Amino acid sequence: MAGEDRVLAGGAKYIDFQTDPQRYRHWKLGVDGEVATLTMDVDENAGLFEGYQLKLNSYDLGVDIELADAVQRLRFEHPGVKVVLLRSGKNRVFCAGANIRMLAGATHAHKVNFCKFTNETRNGLEDSSENSGQRFIAVVNGTAAGGGYELALAADHIMLADDGAAAVSLPEVPLLAVLPGTGGLTRVVDKRKVRRDHADFFCTIEEGIKGKRAVAWRLVDEIVPNSKLEGKVAERAREFAASSKRSGSGSGNGIALTPLTRTVDDSSIRYGFVAVDIDRAARIATISIKAPEAAPPGDIDGLIAQGASFWPLQVARELDDAILHLRINELGIAMLLFKSHGDPASVVACDGLLEANKGHWLVNEIRHYWKRVLKRIDVTSRTLVTLVEPGSCFAGTLAELVFAADRSYMLIGSRQGDNRSPPVIQLTAMNFGPCPMSHGLTRLQSRFLADPSDLERAQAAIGAPLDAAEAEQLGLVTFALDDIDWDDEVRVFLEERTSFSPDGLTGMEANLRFAGPETMESKIFSRLTAWQNWIFQRPNAVGEDGALRRYGSGQKPQFDMTRV
């Protein structure tokens, strides 16, 4: 089970997002040259909580934590892998989707965070295919229902057994009165280009679609008789490997994602370069990031030798784990407050090494990992605030935390009695392309939609240490404040913000953060997630007589038929 045997304040279970293949209960990872096989073989008695069994390869958050870990390890630890087969270890069933008993008994917050994490994991499969050249083939040997089909939808190619029984379905609306929670609706029409009328029929029948109709409607890519399935899978794997752009084939075993060094107590988490201090009374978690103390390695061989301890990779892993912890285990926290300390030049030097070697497979993975971590922060439903103070090192990659914030405050000059140098912000190439948001724009592009020349002025300042006045003039921070106003202005803002309704803030922030175009990914996180969040609170789904509660009981749900 992914998790420690700990209990949080109030009796809630502590959920740990760190795991490794030796601890997997639900997945088996095998690697054979250029082809890896991820076999879903869920232990029905190893659910994350009590009260349900994970039958028919149904899943809960613990199953998906293992999947996310496996996908991450394939990218970093297996540079020679070009194709990943998603398979089932069960006979005549691929995956029955999210466990209904788990959903029926989960809190609203857990359901929403569960869906968000599974969305991020599925997006991670697609990101690996697009940016790492690890192509995914889903081999559907039986029923792929709901989230099971959504897992297949994240693959590049879906093969369906043609045995008269294997089928794909999205039965959430007719069976459960909710929506497919992991991007199914969006991927069906946006990714697979299924006609709207066909999609309407497909999403409102319980039994699903199989055989030739599934291919004709673009729900799967091909059907194969069981007698020929293994041969066809091997053939497709060879084809996909031949067309992969994966460039790490001669790089040995990659680098090991060794366990994070982490100390967790009631009010803090301590990693190597990241620290989290939790003030539950104020409802604020302060996340502090420390710059590297030593210069980065001089070349790519030195970077590989450092492995998972290379500062950009270690910080990304630590920050990722901290964000996930706060999301699921600290539901009362209203605000994430970002701070940093150390020499900005050290951060800039690491960015320079990554930029100079961006064609190398490992550097490519590190850069895309930072992109995914920052995206995870973007879609986290907490107010994001960044304070740029003396001693800060918000440069390059870390400066993205300034631009990701809902508000940012930067001190003008120094504080009385503080002998540290006045704070600066320094831009690098990492701020102008490698780390786009879910809607495809960088955070600075999104910020400067009104006048693209503002982006050009910012880009012209790459490499210059910008003080508070310069940063405010370039539009990089919300407010630049002097020492006289700093304490009162920041205090009043923090107190006011944490007093607002969490529901209103979640809706407001999610709407304001993603100005500009939509992509399939941003639709999943905005439009779909917003509707699912609402539907998960409606009596038709979760009430005593709702579909989720009555599923499997033999009783029909009772619906309020008012269309809202």
pLDDT tens track for 16-38: 999 999 999 999 999 999 999 99
> Does pLDDT of 8 surpass 80?
no
- Please answer whether residues 119 and 183 qualify as being in contact, where contact means their C-beta atoms are separated by less than 8 angstroms: yes
Other Cβ atoms closer than 10 A to 4: 12
Q: For 27-243, which CATH superfamily applies? A: 2-enoyl-CoA Hydratase; Chain A, domain 1 (3.90.226.10)
CATH code at 263-506: 3.90.226.10
- What is residue 6's predicted lDDT score, i.e. its pLDDT? 64
**Per-residue confidence at 532, pLDDT binned at 50, 70, 90?**
confident
pTM assigned to the model? 0.96
- Local confidence band at 248 (pLDDT 50, 70, 90 cut-offs): confident
DSSP E strands in 324-450: the ranges are 335-341, 383-388, 407-411, 425-426
Q: Which of 27, 29, 132, 119 is nearest to 76 (CA)?
A: 132
- Residues 384, 385, 391: CA angle, nearest 5 degrees: 135
Strand pairing class (465-466; 425-426): antiparallel
Q: How far apart are the first and last CA of the chain?
A: 40
State mean pLDDT over 421-435: 97
Q: What percent of the chain has pLDDT over 70?
A: 97
Chain position carrying tokens 């466990």: 99
In percent, how much of the chain has pLDDT > 90? 92
- If you ran DSSP here, which 8-state letter would residue 189 be given? I
Residues 6+ positions from 247 with CB-CB distance below 8 Å: 133, 359, 361
Question: Which helix (H) or strand (E) is 149 found in, with range?
Answer: helix 147-153
Closest to 149 (Cα-Cα) out of 204, 93, 107: 93
- List the chain domain ranges: 27-243, 263-506
Residue pLDDT, tens place only, 300-356 = 999 999 999 999 999 999 999 999 999 999 999 999 999 999 999 999 999 999 999
Which of 33, 73, 82, 78 is CA-nearest to residue 254?
78
Say if residue 425 is exposed, middle or buried (CB neighbours under 10 Å; 0-12, 13-18, 19+). buried
Q: Looking at this protein, which amino acid is placed at residue 179?
A: L
Question: How many Å apart are CA 533 and CA 112, to the nearest integer?
Answer: 6
Question: Bridge partners of 287?
Answer: 276, 338
Contact 162, 181 (CB under 8 A): no
Answer yes or no: is pLDDT of 520 > 90: yes
pLDDT at 4: 47
Lowest mean pLDDT among 134-148, 371-385, 435-449, 500-514: 500-514
Q: Do domains 27-243 and 263-506 have the same CATH topology?
A: yes
Residue 13 has pLDDT above 90, yes or no: no
Nearest CA among 368, 401, 546, 530 for reference residue 477: 401
